[in-house]
Amino acid sequence: MGGKLILIVGTSSGSGKSTISTALCRIISNSGYRVAPFKAVNMSRNSVSLEDGSEIARAQWLQAIASGTEPEKEMNPVLLKPEKDGRSQVIIKGRSLGTFSLREYQNIVADTGRRAVSSSLENLLERYDVVVAEGAGSPSEINLRREDLSNSYILSEYDPYTILVADIERGGVFASILGTLELMANPASVKGVVINKMMGDEQILKPGIVEIERITGKKVLGVVPYYTDIYLPGEDSFDYERERIINRKVCVVKYPMMENYSDLDPFIIYGIGFTYVTGENKEAIEGCDLVILPGSKNVLEDVNYLRRSGLWERLKSAKKIVGICGGFQMLSERIEDPEMVQATLRSYEGLGLLKCKFTYRPDKTTRAVSYEIRNSHIACGREAGYEIHYGELSESGEEPLCLVDGKGEGAISHDGRVIGTNIHGILENPCFLKYVLGQETEERYWNSLNKNLDLLADLVRKNVDLSDLLTFLSSDK
């Protein structure tokens, strides 16, 4: 294995591992190295389909973009997509094995997952100069060490160049640094610490930094300030708890099993914003020009939520609705699930706003698509997106929204008010956004995405001492 391995671990979930990893992917790539991101096990409902139909976490997709390389299944060999009652869908090397209980999927991860992680990591190290691996949660979770393939396994088996990220926003930053180093496997691999999300004057940390360096023997490489002017796709639901920009004319229905949150990213990158709507503020729909029904990990559960919450009737009078993936299914007249792939019912009603019917089969659709929007209401040029879903459109009395491989995809009502599609990323399409919002976007999504990646890389480069890391990369060791 010729490549160098860097591992970014954190004192906790949400400490900023993904952020620092993404920044390093761009910084190291810009330094002339061939870089691949890696996360052994990611638990997230935010995923993307690749050209070969593989499904990986959106975070590793973004890190590949930051690295200037093509995303691939080896970059996230194990993906867990949480469902209800502690169950998760298990995806190994881009393909779903099905849904399992906590104990079942822990056993799968510890066995099949371990082999997938080692083969994927070694594959990347053979083909790239540098692999930037992101840990998961914290490496100090000693109760989970058997299943901890993202931290303990890599620390013990590969002895990577390790950086520890600590989140000062949570408080107790120095105690969390010390505790993590005391409990983690192979603490000697840690070459430095980054303190993340600092608000205010970092000078007040100086006495603590001097002391923690004395106690641990680890250098604090820098303090990264809390930022609000850089926006990149989040890793999971934690990153989408609140709206970044409020716009009460655009409403997103936030049901309990919502997934593929990154479909909302264009509303932030384009500066449009949105408002989350739940049963607690359902009256907000009356003032919305556009309502989004996003993806769902369990359509039946979320349909039942719409009924219980009172959102069901409110949605029927919305001015304009776009349903994506599971949201498209909710707009239909009926969903059939004869083999109970997802639901506990074999058949149930949707909102009935589109004259469509969906049928579930055990096979899951994951694919990248090239599409053209062509119907009597709107025409847009060719764009790229992707599909990740169970359930296929089995009947439709509506006009297709667009064309994929010469075949109709999605549906649009006769009055153009209700739209459904399985294509994730369609809201990145400026032509489509102009139709549903009535306003122009100034810049293409990909240009904005790369500008934000550059801003993040600049922020980390300015505030973190990377000289030792760059020396490690250029050495023969």
Tokens 């062509």 -> residue: 374
Tens of pLDDT, residues 37-54: 999 999 998 899 999 999
Check whether residue 86 and residue 219 sit in a common domain.
yes
Same domain, 222 and 262: no
382 and 316, same domain (yes or no): yes
Both tokens of residue 91? 């995806």
Mean pLDDT for 16-40 is 97
Over 90: is that where the pLDDT of 84 sits?
no
Rounded to an integer, the average pLDDT of 305-309 is 96
Mean pLDDT of 375-388: 95
| Residues 113 and 212 occupy one common structural domain | yes
Note down the domain range covering 175: 4-231+450-472
Which alpha helices (H) appear in 49-191, and where do they start and end?
A: 58-67, 102-108, 114-127, 154-158, 173-183
Mean pLDDT of the chain: 93
Q: Read off the pLDDT of residues 394-450 as tens digits, 9 standing for 90 and up.
A: 999 999 999 999 999 999 999 999 999 999 999 999 999 999 998 877 778 889 899
User: Would 477 be classed as within a structural domain?
Assistant: no
Predicted confidence at residue 312, as pLDDT, reads 94
Whether residue 237 is predicted with pLDDT greater than 80 in this model: the reply is no
The CA–CA distances, whole Å, from 84 to 56, 88, 257 equal 21, 8, 8
CATH of the domain at 402: 3.40.50.880
- The CATH number linked to 20 is 3.40.50.300
- pLDDT over threshold 90, residue 238: no
Mean of pLDDT values over 300-329: 95
Percent of the chain with pLDDT over 70: 99
Q: What's the confidence (pLDDT) of residue 477? A: 65
Question: What's the domain count of the chain?
Answer: 2
Which of 235 and 418 is assigned the larger pLDDT? 418
pLDDT of residue 244: 80
Is 417 in the same domain as 274?
yes
Q: Which tokens belong to 114?
A: 């371990």
- Establish if 237 belongs to a structural domain: no
Residue 378 lies in a domain: yes
Quick check: 94 pLDDT over 70? yes
Q: Are residues 225 and 319 in the same domain?
A: no
Q: Do 221 and 297 belong to one domain?
A: no
**Which two tokens mark 309?**
């919450």
State the catalytic residue, choosing from 251, 380, 389, 424. 424
Q: Is-catalytic flag, 424? A: yes
- Beta strands per DSSP E along 116-247: 130-134, 161-167, 190-198, 220-225
Are residues 274 and 209 part of one domain?
no
465 has pLDDT over 90: yes
Residue 167 confidence (pLDDT): 93
- Whether 295 and 325 have beta carbons less than 8 Å apart is answered as yes
Q: Is 377 a catalytic residue?
A: no
Catalytic residue among 25, 325, 380, 402: 325
236 pLDDT band, cuts 50/70/90, is low
The per-residue pLDDT for 93 is 96
Q: Is the pLDDT of residue 36 over 80?
A: yes
CA distances, 72 to each of 51, 64, 75, 130, 248 (Å): 9, 8, 6, 15, 38
Residue 22 belongs to some domain of the structure = yes
Average pLDDT over residues 44-65: 93
